[in-house]
Chains A and B, each alone.
Chain A
Amino acid sequence: MSKPAIQVENLSKAYQIGQIGTGTISHDLERFFVTKVLGKEDPFLKIGETNDRSTKGSSNIVWSLKDINFEINQGDAVGIIGKNGAGKSTLLKLLSRVTSPTTGEIKVKGRIASLLEVGTGFHPELSGRENIYLNGAILGMRKKEITRKIDEIIDFSGVERYIDTPVKRYSSGMYVRLAFAVAAHLESEILIVDEVLAVGDAEFQKKCLGKMGDISKGEGRTVLFVSHNMAAVKSLCDKGIILENGLLTFIGNIDTVIDDYLKKGNNHASKQFNNKNAPQTNSFRLLEVHVLNSKGEITLNHFITNDIIIEFKYEVLQDDQLYTHGFNLFNDHNIHILSSHDKETESLIFPVKKGIYLKRVLIPGNFLAEGGYNCSFAIMRYNPFFVEFHEMEVVGFNIIEAIGETTVRGNYTGKFPGVVRPLLNWN
């Protein structure tokens, strides 16, 4: 039975937004009077206002985290997911004791080391070796502990040749390598990491990810990891937490958490039309559209390596129609990725009778890049070319990143540009 390493109870953190300046001293005095002298609640902390960036609140106190409860067991690797401003960094700051909670408490078993930034406290004038000692000590290592590990650290960083050069002469990549190397050799029971993997080159990122995997899986230490990179989160973590506007909305197995997080988008994998809202003309009516996985199940989230099937069901309302069907695909940024229609369908040559028809199209795996997509559907005629109807955004789906041999990405975990990601042959 695993034991809890971190237990968070009713954790909240309020921030004052806007200018802190004139007026604060009178507020401070009032707050002091009300809370300390009268023993009442702080009048400036409004209850129940959540932290939503996009709407204007009535108070200039905002809850960056509100009533968070969770428990993490020893040896868990937990990914913390959420949009910008959801409270991820605040949670990490509270856990790493950089700032303290407004209410609630965190109980911790074991030593915490947090990496909210790599290379904290590096001094540009000092040599790499001196900075290893300094940074290690800042992160909570004893001097003899560092001395014991210094060769390992230097070796891991791969900057051995420059180790006695002041770090101000380092390239930014070397700097980060050295900094991560120190952090990776911390001997704490709990490691808190904030998106530090987004730096360094591919080889080093792989090394970092591998090292973090070793830490959580191999050494059985507890890891908390915040990242926007679903691929990294997925490969590293076994549990996940979703934060939304300062509230904890989901906790569980990492796959379901990522699924749930991506579902928060507007995409829906299946749509059935009724007589009223169906896109239609005198001759055609769209009935149903589904996004399926290779087993034929309706699926919203597809791994990048998997094939996706889109199924269209429409009705031909009049006899003797000559036509074809097609669709357009757009990504999250509304970029038109592709257009495709069925140029070999019999309906272009032989007139079609009334009835319901089912058409499927397959989008191969390892073709689209990760992200959200939406799909339109159209029925059109040749000679002369004429579009019967073109319905935008009928269904959508998400492509989820994966790492490994079968992907285009391989083991690289950093930013991967491009709107498509086909698997090409290299010779």
Chain B
Amino acid sequence: MKSTPEASDWDLVIKGHNSLFDIKFKDLWAYRDLLLMFVKRDFVSFYKQTILGPLWFFIQPIFTTLVFTFIFGNLAGISTDGLPKPLFYLAGITSWNYFSDCLTKTSTVFKDNASIFGKVYFPRLIMPLSIVVSNLVRFSVQMLLFLLMMLYFYFIPKENTSFHITYAILSLPFLVVLMALLGLGIGLIITAMTTKYKDLTFLITFGVQLLMYGTTVIYPLSEAKEKFGGMSKIIEYNPMTGIIEAFRYSFLGKGEFSLWSLGYSSMITLLILFFGILLFNKTEKNFVDTI
């Protein structure tokens, strides 16, 4: 009674060792509804049972901007390239937050979801992708705040400051994708490496914070070049620098929009993302055994 069908008759073959490049994009597409469901869950559960609700999305950047304005702008007197200080910082914070949220949240994706990953199969990549998309929602809300602040400074300009929107603003979608993918890529690498050795998780908590100082969030690149001279190359090699500079240039007209540095950032991003996906894909199959 045994009928052995041809190999092609099977819908699925579960094996121990698959090719490194065996990434199931078809599966990913089949589960696209799940991605949106996760995004909705993150968004809804974020403000359930809070009084201020979605307003919390605003509060963190507002307070950070205030503190930065006082400490770095007024106390330390770091130049803001002739831009209104709050606007300068908010531009940096909004884009940096998106990158760092993508990074930190994806970097714990295996650990945070061990219980659900241990019980049911779905393409694991859905989870980090949903994180990137939910953070995009958050980023959009914070962009709204940034635009409101731009309007404020447009109608009530401060002395000795000026800003203008440039055509580079058209590159915004590209910049956002770059930030997301860079954060995602680094996060994937870290989460894949921390299933067995948890050391990196400690690094990431303060590493991201320190990295912010290595990026042009609280100072303009021009200032760094002037003060550090050759040392500023290190800041330029940071792929986030080019992105944030371009972001600032797009909206405020100050900063360095260079195709070279954006190209460089894109290259690094793609490289990191590629390795991140490979590593993640290799780890996802067995990580429940070691986590």
Q: Using a CB–CB distance below 8 Å, which chain A residues touch chain B?
A: 1-4, 7, 15-16, 20, 24-25, 28, 71, 93-112, 114, 116-117, 120-121, 123, 125-126, 130, 133-134, 137-140, 142-143, 166
Whether the Cβ atoms of B41 and A108 lie closer than 8 Å is no
B26 interface residue per 8 A CB criterion? no
Whether the Cβ atoms of B285 and A20 lie closer than 8 Å is no
Whether the Cβ atoms of A109 and B34 lie closer than 8 Å is no
Whether the Cβ atoms of B49 and A107 lie closer than 8 Å is no
A384 to B145, CA, bound (A): 101
A contact residues around B122 at 8 Å (CB) = 138, 140
B117 interface residue per 8 A CB criterion? yes
A contact residues around B44 at 8 Å (CB) = 125-126, 130
B197 interface residue per 8 A CB criterion? yes
List CB contacts (< 8 Å) of B17-75 with chain A: 31, 33-34, 36-38, 40-41, 44-45, 48-49
* Nearest 8 pairs of A and B residues by beta carbon: A97-B121, A137-B34, A100-B285, A106-B14, A108-B12, A143-B33, A107-B10, A125-B45
Max chain A Cβ within 10 angstroms of own Cβ: one of B33, B120, B122: B120
Whether the Cβ atoms of B37 and A101 lie closer than 8 Å is no
Whether the Cβ atoms of A20 and B290 lie closer than 8 Å is yes
Whether the Cβ atoms of A109 and B11 lie closer than 8 Å is yes
B contact residues around A137 at 8 Å (CB) = 31, 33-34, 37
A280 to B130, CA, bound (A): 78
A194 to B118, CA, bound (A): 13
Whether the Cβ atoms of B16 and A103 lie closer than 8 Å is yes
| Distance from B38 Cβ to chain A, minimum over Cβ atoms (Å) | 8
B contact residues around A108 at 8 Å (CB) = 10-14
A367 to B13, CA, bound (A): 49
A59 to B36, CA, bound (A): 45
Whether the Cβ atoms of B117 and A100 lie closer than 8 Å is no
A137 to B121, CA, bound (A): 11
Whether the Cβ atoms of B121 and A126 lie closer than 8 Å is no
Whether the Cβ atoms of B15 and A134 lie closer than 8 Å is no
A contact residues around B285 at 8 Å (CB) = 99-100
Ordered by A's residue number, 6 sampled pairs between the chains whose C-beta atoms are within 8 Å are A4-B3, A101-B16, A104-B16, A107-B13, A112-B12, A126-B45
B contact residues around A117 at 8 Å (CB) = 119-120
A16 to B289, CA, bound (A): 8
Given contacts A99-B288, A116-B120, 7 further A-B contacts (CB under 8 A): A3-B3, A15-B289, A71-B2, A93-B288, A103-B16, A108-B14, A114-B120
A contact residues around B33 at 8 Å (CB) = 137, 142-143
Which residue from B13, B38, B41, B119 sits with its C-beta under 8 Å from A98? B119
| Distance from B34 Cβ to chain A, minimum over Cβ atoms (Å) | 4
A111 to B27, CA, bound (A): 12
Residue of B nearest to A114 (CB): B120
Whether the Cβ atoms of A20 and B196 lie closer than 8 Å is yes
List CB contacts (< 8 Å) of B113-164 with chain A: 116-122
Whether the Cβ atoms of B14 and A97 lie closer than 8 Å is yes
B contact residues around A142 at 8 Å (CB) = 33
| Distance from A87 Cβ to chain B, minimum over Cβ atoms (Å) | 14
Residue of B nearest to A108 (CB): B12
| Distance from A42 Cβ to chain B, minimum over Cβ atoms (Å) | 11
Whether the Cβ atoms of A125 and B48 lie closer than 8 Å is yes
B contact residues around A120 at 8 Å (CB) = 116, 119-120
B258 interface residue per 8 A CB criterion? no
Which residue from A1, A98, A143 sits with its C-beta under 8 Å from B120? A98
Given A100-B286, A121-B120, the answer on whether A138 and B3 have CB atoms closer than 8 Å is: no
B contact residues around A16 at 8 Å (CB) = 289-290
Max chain B Cβ within 10 angstroms of own Cβ: one of A99, A104, A116: A99
Which residue from B2, B4, B14, B116 sits with its C-beta under 8 Å from A105? B14
| Distance from A112 Cβ to chain B, minimum over Cβ atoms (Å) | 7
What is the 8 Å Cβ interface bit string for chain B, positions 198-225, against chain A (1 contact, 0 not)?
Answer: 0000000000000000000000000000
B9 interface residue per 8 A CB criterion? yes
Which residue from A7, A25, A104 sits with its C-beta under 8 Å from B197? A25
B1 interface residue per 8 A CB criterion? yes
Residue of B nearest to A14 (CB): B289
A contact residues around B119 at 8 Å (CB) = 98, 116-117, 120
A5 to B117, CA, bound (A): 25
A contact residues around B1 at 8 Å (CB) = 1-2
| Distance from B49 Cβ to chain A, minimum over Cβ atoms (Å) | 7
B contact residues around A111 at 8 Å (CB) = 11
A contact residues around B15 at 8 Å (CB) = 100-101, 104-105
B contact residues around A101 at 8 Å (CB) = 14-16
B5 interface residue per 8 A CB criterion? yes
Whether the Cβ atoms of A123 and B31 lie closer than 8 Å is no
Whether the Cβ atoms of B48 and A109 lie closer than 8 Å is no
B contact residues around A7 at 8 Å (CB) = 10
Residue of B nearest to A137 (CB): B34
Whether the Cβ atoms of B31 and A105 lie closer than 8 Å is no
